[in-house]
Amino acid sequence: MPERLTETLVDLWTPLIILWITLPTCVYMAPMNQAHTLTTGSPLGLSRQSEELRILNRSKRGWVWNQMFVLEEFSGPEPILVGRLHTDLDPGSKKIKYILSGDGAGTIFQINDITGDIHAIKRLDREEKAEYTLTAQAVDWETNKPLEPPSEFIIKVQDINDNAPEFLNGPYHATVPEMSILGTSVTNVTATDADDPVYGNSAKLVYSILEGQPYFSIEPETAIIKTALPNMDREAKEEYLVVIQAKDMGGHSGGLSGTTTLTVTLTDVNDNPPKFAQSLYHFSVPEDVVLGTAIGRVKANDQDIGENAQSSYDIIDGDGTALFEITSDAQAQDGVIRLRKPLDFETKKSYTLKVEAANIHIDPRFSGRGPFKDTATVKIVVEDADEPPVFSSPTYLLEVHENAALNSVIGQVTARDPDITSSPIRFSIDRHTDLERQFNINADDGKITLATPLDRELSVWHNITIIATEIRNHSQISRVPVAIKVLDVNDNAPEFAAEYEAFLCENGKPGQVIQTVSAMDKDDPKNGHYFLYSLLPEMVNNPNFTIKKNEDNSLSILAKHNGFNRQKQEVYLLPIVISDSGNPPLSSTSTLTIRVCGCSNDGVVQSCNVEAYVLPIGLSMGALIAILACIILLLVIVVLFVTLRRHKNEPLIIKDDEDVRENIIRYDDEGGGEEDTEAFDIATLQNPDGINGFLPHDRRGLLRGIPENAA
């Protein structure tokens, strides 16, 4: 302990002794004829100062001092002498007063205005302020007039080792891959020292590791941390705490130090293969399990983490490779075995699979350690289940002719119970698919029969569903679709495709096509329709018309001559016999109506009425209509004229002295509706003159026919 104290005192007082030796030379005056100089010897005089000297007409003057220094953190009982100002104009008569201004003048630094001695009156800290710029001036003591222009000088605060190194960004964290080689760089740390880096060794740092060896090392000057052991295993230890020290004074004794911590985490690499937890797995599954159902899970553990622990699973061998599959669950890191195809307990009761787990991401650095995979055996036992009936076919297609007899067998479906204890089967028709109950089925043997007649022209297809039910367990049922196609038979005769009406021009030419007709047949023969057209036997030698078969299966009717006259005959009826090509063939007779019409020269029909033929020659239809309109208009005018004339001759005033009640007639008959109206004219009451002979003749006759005693 005494030795360490002695070293500390030596390090502390050595700069002070050097300053004490050099200080007198800094404050004594130089020869009178020298200019202002610094310790470096460079001139202090400025152009501004030279100009001021010329203004003052000074031939000789000068400040003499060197650059001044003061030791930081000095705390003696008396103010510390920094230096002394002196001018060559001072003869020692004490008529010169020295004035100090600038940074810290009067607060940090004081000057003896007579001697020019400068003292530091406060404790200085270089890290707070490293230098001060002040201005010195010499003035006459009595007049305060400047004897010299003011001049600047610098007081520098001399550094001592009073600041320890600091790690401003600590504590630190870093990562390095596991299994790294020796000397792999981990990270670097940096400490700072507030002391002067250019003066002495106060800020010269040296780094070392206090804790964390032998796993890591550090470069003393650069603070680069490296691995000190090769192949560190994350699975053995993942995290390390390293304590780092930074010491100033170049690491020598007496220096100050600071520490920080570094947490180093080993990151994972794929250096471990997957390993199944067990070599043999057992699973059982019912035979009626739904396809895609998970049967079981297998897992291969991996000491690595993240993607390095990800494994893919495959079935590489076994007698169930076609029935089962395995998929990888990325979340659980296991393999899920699922069913691909249906199982049958009665066919095979167990299966053996060989599954493999292999790492997905392989690190080539460790591939030489062996395959990063593992295998296990999986035993799957199939359990018996009560299964529904199984039809011999997934669908059935039946055909039946539309003229099939009732109760005839159309076809048959079969089903069986796949269980070992086979149960009898009963068949039925789902009536929701056969609402009209056109079919029946034998419950025991599955034969389908016809219940109602079929008509292909109404419906070609009938789709029904057959249900098979186990007698021992009615809950076990199966369904199968049955499509029944109705086959065509020739049971419809052909007929005209439309209601045809032909028109024949009076001025037509022989051989001219009057009308083209086509036929249709509701049947659907395999080879398509082919029609035969003919006239009735008694119409074969028809003098007016003939027929011609066309290649498109249609028929053209042609006129044999010209000179048809609608006055002689307006309409012709032509019966045509149409036969199909069925076996046996069917035929029907359709009649074509042919009207004789008047046509223009280019064959456009104008009129087909007989009355139009007897009209006066030379009058067009428009002219006849105009004449008829004029006649009707003339008749209307005549009727209006007569009516107005008659109303003009009738008196409009009823005579009050006439008793109109004499016209009232009484009779015992019940009311006769219109007969009463005819017998009594109310207009007579309004016009008494009617009694005097203006009744209509029919009214008078009616009155004469009534006896006088009818009332």
DSSP line for 464-516: EEEEEEESS-TT-EEEEEEEEEEEP-S----EESS--EEEEETT--TT-EEEE
- pLDDT at residue 506 is higher than 60: yes
- Residue 349 CA to chain centroid, in angstroms? 47
pLDDT band at 36 (very low <50, low <70, confident <90, very high): very low
Q: Tell me which residue has tokens 């010299």.
A: 148
What confidence tens digit (pLDDT) does each residue in 381-411 have? 999 888 899 999 999 999 999 889 999 999 9
User: Does 2.60.40.60 match the CATH number of domain 495-614?
Assistant: yes
pLDDT band at 617 (very low <50, low <70, confident <90, very high): very low
- pLDDT at residue 16 is higher than 80: no
- pLDDT at residue 647 is higher than 80: no
Instruction: Find the range with the poorest average confidence among 2-16, 21-35, 348-362, 592-606.
Output: 21-35
Higher per-residue confidence, 642 vs 353: 353
Residues 6 or more apart whose CB falls under 8 angstroms from that of 109 comprise 82, 100, 118, 119, 120, 121, 132, 134, 155
What confidence tens digit (pLDDT) does each residue in 518-569 have? 888 888 777 678 888 888 888 778 888 888 888 888 889 888 888 888 888 8
**Cis peptide leading into residue 651 (ω within 30°):** no
Q: What confidence score (pLDDT) does residue 53 get?
A: 36
Instruction: Calculate mean pLDDT across residues 583-610.
Output: 84
What's the mean per-residue pLDDT of the chain?
A: 79
427, two tokens: 């068949």
Q: Tell me which residue has tokens 């390993």.
A: 275
- The superfamily (CATH) of domain 172-267 is Cadherins (2.60.40.60)
**394-487: what fold?**
Immunoglobulin-like (2.60.40)
- Greatest CA span in the chain, whole angstroms? 192
The amino acid present at 25, given as its one-letter code, is T
Residues 6 or more apart whose CB falls under 8 angstroms from that of 74 comprise 80, 120, 123, 124
- pLDDT at residue 124 is higher than 70: yes
Burial 34-55, CB ≥16 within 10 A → b, else e: eebbeeeeeebeeeebeeebee
Higher per-residue confidence, 21 vs 541: 541
**Cis peptide leading into residue 584 (ω within 30°):** yes
Higher per-residue confidence, 80 vs 189: 189
The CATH number of 275-383 is which of 1.10.510.10, 2.60.40.60, 3.60.40.10, 3.40.50.10860?
Answer: 2.60.40.60
- pLDDT at residue 35 is higher than 90: no
Nearest to 161 by CA among 192, 123, 200: 200
Q: Tell me which residue has tokens 């029946």.
A: 440
Q: What confidence score (pLDDT) does residue 707 get?
A: 37
pLDDT band at 655 (very low <50, low <70, confident <90, very high): very low
CA distance 390 to 418: 7
Q: What confidence score (pLDDT) does residue 46 get?
A: 31
User: How many residues are present in the chain?
Assistant: 711
CA distance 158 to 683: 154
DSSP line for 187-220: EE---B--S-TTSTTTT--EEEEEESTTTEEE-T
Q: What confidence score (pLDDT) does residue 622 get?
A: 64
CA 121 to each of CA 157, 450, 631, 661: distance values in angstroms, whole numbers, following the listed order: 14, 132, 150, 161
3-state secondary structure of 131: strand
HSE, side-chain direction, 13 A CA sphere, residue 559:
20
Q: What confidence score (pLDDT) does residue 220 get?
A: 93
CA distance 344 to 420: 11
340, two tokens: 């691909």
What confidence tens digit (pLDDT) does each residue in 261-305 have? 999 999 999 888 999 989 999 999 998 899 999 999 999 999 988
Q: What confidence score (pLDDT) does residue 92 get?
A: 62
Q: What confidence score (pLDDT) does residue 453 get?
A: 93
- pLDDT at residue 695 is higher than 70: no
- Residue 702 CA to chain centroid, in angstroms? 100
Q: What confidence score (pLDDT) does residue 214 get?
A: 93
Q: What is the CATH number of domain 11-158?
A: 2.60.40.60
74, two tokens: 């000095």
Higher per-residue confidence, 616 vs 529: 529
What confidence tens digit (pLDDT) does each residue in 466-502 have? 999 999 889 999 999 999 999 988 878 888 888 888 8
- pLDDT at residue 415 is higher than 90: yes
Q: What confidence score (pLDDT) does residue 623 get?
A: 67
pLDDT band at 321 (very low <50, low <70, confident <90, very high): very high
- pLDDT at residue 17 is higher than 80: no
Instruction: Calculate mean pLDDT across residues 156-184.
Output: 89
Q: Where in the chain is the domain with CATH 2.60.40.60?
A: 11-158, 172-267, 275-383, 394-487, 495-614
Instruction: Calculate mean pLDDT across residues 235-253.
Output: 91
Q: What confidence score (pLDDT) does residue 57 get?
A: 38
The amino acid present at 564, given as its one-letter code, is F
Residues 6 or more apart whose CB falls under 8 angstroms from that of 10 comprise none
**Kind of pairing between the strands at 172-177 and 117-120:** unpaired
Nearest to 27 by CA among 60, 68, 62: 68
Q: What confidence score (pLDDT) does residue 611 get?
A: 52
Strand partners, 282: 379
CA 512 to each of CA 545, 547, 577, 605: distance values in angstroms, whole numbers, following the listed order: 10, 11, 21, 15
What confidence tens digit (pLDDT) does each residue in 69-115 have? 787 777 777 788 888 887 777 666 668 888 898 888 888 888 888 78
What confidence tens digit (pLDDT) does each residue in 41-55 have? 222 233 333 333 333
This model's pTM is above 0.75: no
pLDDT > 70 fraction of the chain, expressed in percent and rounded: 78
